[in-house]
Amino acid sequence: MSHPNPTFDDYVQVMRSLFHKYQQSTLSRHGRGRMFTYSQVTLILFFAIMAFRRIFKFKAQNRWLRNHKEEAKSLGFPDIPHRTTLSRRYKDMYNTVQEFVDYVGQWAEGLGKAFRSDHLFEDKSLFKADGPVWHSKDQKAGIIPEGLRNVDTNATWCKSGYHGWVYGYGLHSTCNQTGFPKHVQVETASVPESIVLDEKADKIQRISSPKTLTGDDGYSKLSRVKEWIKAGTVILTPALKDKGQEAEAYHAYLRYPENASLICKRKTAIEPLFDLVSKTVGTEQNHKQLPVKGVANVRNCLALGVLMVQIAMIVNNIWGLPLHNISHMMSVFT
């Protein structure tokens, strides 16, 4: 390393290297994918830069590229994409970013204990939709009141323990004890965390293979616990709503010191991750109000935020910086 701190080029090199490894892994599983005029990694880097600079309108992004042609060329753009191309590619990118997060989470295992997947944590964080709220009564009736403009019609309602009722989206993250992200899924706010966990189950068990997965009481269901045990993972929750003889045995198991300790660590493990994602996508203010509208845009926005936290933590580890310090990354990207 020639610099005491990582440079912009260092972050780019790490990102490109990991994306190349990810592409090689998908090539072996699925064969050659679609060839793009503008490569996926070029657009991931570009949209990350735009997020750190708080430029989310595609017209403004296109203008930035036209005014920074040398930077565009260095990122890998053969020419300047139209704003409609940027919009389309952004909306279509979520599945790739989601898979890339899965890959990086697995790849990082070799970096040391701070990146291991032995004990994982699962939680959901609500983000407020961009624009005005669409009241539940009107939403159910399919009526947008006169004068209610720029409402995000994809968002839904859910109650947050911190902010009360939120009209928006849910970021469902899986991380390890140090808050390093392993998996991500983004849904509208009303989609229950238990449903998302069932959808993520095969991926988590197959890719991360944790010994335990700890969540709050929203994930508590004895039949789910039994299914996960068959796959080699024990789900740990407060299990406050579970009753009966089997529940009593589960409660006794949860009181084992190592299990009780993991349950106590859940908030301190995963809540800092949500704070870091908020910083990357600019949602620290106004109850984490999102900068983009529509489920396709929001999914990619938050998934990219999780990916950039992964890259920041990996680079911090390589350079010997504090693991959760993303301020340096933000400074070199802006």
Q: Give the residue among 98, 78, 86 at the shortest CA–CA distance from 43.
A: 86
pLDDT of amino acid 162: 73
Residue 45 lies in a domain: no
Helices 295-319 and 40-52, packing angle to 10 deg: 90
pLDDT of amino acid 150: 92
Tokens encoding 153: 């019609």
Residue-wise pLDDT for 236-292, tens only, equals 998 766 677 888 888 899 999 999 999 999 999 999 999 999 999 999 887 799 999
Label residue 98 by pLDDT band (50, 70, 90): very high
Average pLDDT in the 313-322 region?
Answer: 96
- Listed in order, strand segments (DSSP E) in 263-311 are none
Whether residue 86 contacts residue 72, with contact meaning beta carbons closer than 8 Å, is answered with: no
Residue 293 to residue 302: CA distance in whole angstroms: 12
Tokens encoding 102: 């899965």
Residue-wise pLDDT for 11-55, tens only, equals 999 999 999 999 999 876 666 666 788 999 999 999 999 999 999
CA 43 to chain centre: 17
Residue 221 lies in a domain: yes
The three-class DSSP label of residue 334 is: coil
Residue 20 lies in a domain: yes
Residue 101 lies in a domain: yes
Domain, as residue range, for 269: 8-35+93-333
The DSSP element (H or E) to which 236 belongs, if any, is strand 234-236
- For residue 279, the one-letter residue type is K
The total number of residues written for the chain in this structure: 334
Q: Number of folded domains in the chain?
A: 1
Residue 18 lies in a domain: yes
Residue 62 lies in a domain: no
pLDDT of amino acid 249: 87
Residue 84 lies in a domain: no
Residue with tokens 């529940």: 247
Residue 136 lies in a domain: yes
DSSP 204: I
